Amino acid sequence: MPQYRYEVKKAPGDHSSGVLEAESERAALARLRDMGYFPIAIEEYTGERRGDVIRQALVRVRLKDRNTFFRQLANLYESGMPLTRALSTLVEQTANPKLAAVIDQLRDDVQKGATFAEALRRHPRLFPALCCSMIHAGESGGMLDEVLWRIVAYGEQDEELRGKAVSAMIYPAFLMLMSTIAIFILVSFVFPKFSAVFEDFQASLPWQTKIVMSFCEFMGRFWWAVLIGVALLALGFISYARSEAGRLQLDRAMLRVPVVRNVVQKYVMAQFARTLGTLLDNGVPILTALNITVETLGNKAVASEVAIVQARVAEGDSVSAGLRQCEYFPPMVINMFAVGEESGRIGAVTKRMADAYDVEVDRAVKAATSLLEPILIVAMGVTVGFLVIAMLLPMLTLSATVV
């Protein structure tokens, strides 16, 4: 079916534009008028212009943008506004152009007869299976407004949890970056100038200075090659980390490093418990909920174990029995699942467990940061101190000879 790019207005000074599918230009105009718009211009749409493609590629839809969308939609729908009208309102109010285009497509799909869950499933990169399954359950049970608020709560808790981890690592990452840049400038451009002075005085250099000068001479000549090599290594690492096998190996490694393991394990347990508990509380069957949880978990090593648990549950085992065969699940998680299964309130128990792990993540991140910062400061101090002392020792020898 052909597509048409349109420009419309609904009130004085209220202009909007977009793309819609219609059998003909006349059908497109009629559809816009039925939606309450006054068409200003309409033309056949053959694809994005080159500038639009580049602009759309650079724009990202963040977790915060998605959470804002669901919060605004929940407010509008709870007030009694029909879903299609609420989506039309959000198209105009959304500042992110990529998200606005997706919302516009959601509205069109719903107007054509698709359910909201089906429309969301057509954008898997933006709306995960968890959201789609909860929306489907809400539409089936006639409680879409309540489910929308649950998605909002889940998304904001997930955003807060990620924010704590990211904000705690900003200072150590900045410290490491600045120290690395300072050392690179010293050994590539500053220290190599001292070699001519030492050669003129034919000074006897200590071994520390010889090591540093050899390294500085190499960096002074081939600093560009070092930068290229580092860039290639970074690209290779990113490519490996994005592959299925590489991501699995790196996630397993993260769960073996002593200090990092504590943070990562608690974060993944909070994510696992909240995702599964939210799905079960919304009436999603246990096997479907486990499958969605596997897709949602950020750590592939833990996700592979949850997939094994799902297979055991499909064979008739309980979740707690399956978790007991796993390596990365601590005893507290297993025991809490057993309690939830015995009481028949596994959804509520897992959500409370997720709240407890949220607090544990915050504590673990603070502990790791308080340990990492002095380690980085000492390491960088020792490195810079060794370089400076190696260059000062010959200076002291020369000054004593001159006197």
State which of 124, 157, 190 marks the end of a domain. Answer: 157
Any domain includes 163: no
Bridge partners of 17?
7
Any domain includes 52: no
Question: pLDDT of 115-167, one tens digit each?
Answer: 888 888 888 888 887 788 888 878 877 788 888 888 888 888 778 777 777 77
Mapping DSSP onto H, E and C, the string for 309-321 reads: HHHHHHCCCCHHH
**CA 3, CA 351: separation in Å to the nearest integer?**
45
Within 13 Å of residue 260, how many CA atoms lie on the same side as its CB?
A: 9
Within 13 Å of residue 401, how many CA atoms lie on the same side as its CB?
A: 11
Domain, as residue range, for 31: 3-47
Q: What is the CATH number of the domain that holds 88?
A: 1.20.81.30
**CA 352, CA 340: separation in Å to the nearest integer?**
11
Mapped onto helix, strand or coil, the DSSP state of residue 285 is: coil
Question: Phi and psi (nearest 5°) for 19?
Answer: -135, 135
Bridge partners of 45?
3
Whole-number Cα distances in Å, 3 to 35, 45, 223, 300, 359: 17, 5, 53, 40, 50
Q: Are residues 120 and 148 in the same domain?
A: yes
Are 175 and 373 in contact by the 8 Å Cβ rule? The answer is yes
Q: Are residues 250 and 283 in the same domain?
A: yes
Spell out the residues 6+ positions from residue 135 whose beta carbon is closer than 8 angstroms to its own. Answer: 116, 117, 120, 144, 147, 148, 151
Any domain includes 53: no
The series of mean pLDDT values per 10 residues for the chain, 403 residues long, is 71 64 75 72 63 46 84 87 87 79 86 87 83 81 82 81 74 81 80 72 74 80 86 91 86 84 85 83 83 83 89 86 86 86 82 83 80 82 82 69 49
Token pair recorded at residue 21: 């599918």
Are 43 and 76 in contact by the 8 Å Cβ rule? The answer is no
Q: Are residues 16 and 69 in the same domain?
A: no
DSSP state of 203: P
Spell out the residues 6+ positions from residue 286 whose beta carbon is closer than 8 angstroms to its own. Answer: 280, 313, 319
Q: Are residues 119 and 241 in the same domain?
A: no
Any domain includes 165: no
The amino acid at residue 173 is A
Q: Are residues 174 and 273 in the same domain?
A: yes
Any domain includes 23: yes
Q: Are residues 72 and 204 in the same domain?
A: no
Q: Are residues 316 and 380 in the same domain?
A: yes
Any domain includes 353: yes
Residue with tokens 């020369």: 398
Q: Are residues 189 and 317 in the same domain?
A: yes
Strand-strand pairing, 3-11 and 38-45: antiparallel
Spell out the residues 6+ positions from residue 396 whose beta carbon is closer than 8 angstroms to its own. Answer: none
State which of 157, 179, 199 marks the end of a domain. Answer: 157
Question: Quick one: pLDDT at residue 100?
Answer: 83
State which of 134, 157, 180 marks the end of a domain. Answer: 157
For 137-290, list the strands marked E by DSSP.
Answer: none
Q: Are residues 88 and 184 in the same domain?
A: no
How many structural domains compose the chain? 3
The residue among 90, 73, 81, 84 whose CA lies nearest residue 150 is 73
Q: Are residues 280 and 342 in the same domain?
A: yes
Q: Are residues 219 and 100 in the same domain?
A: no
Question: Quick one: pLDDT at residue 373?
Answer: 78
Q: What is the pTM (predicted TM-score) of this model?
A: 0.65
Q: Are residues 94 and 23 in the same domain?
A: no
Handedness of CA 191, 193, 196, 198 (dihedral sign): negative
Give me Rg for the CA atoms of the chain. 29
Question: Quick one: pLDDT at residue 381?
Answer: 83
Question: Quick one: pLDDT at residue 235?
Answer: 92
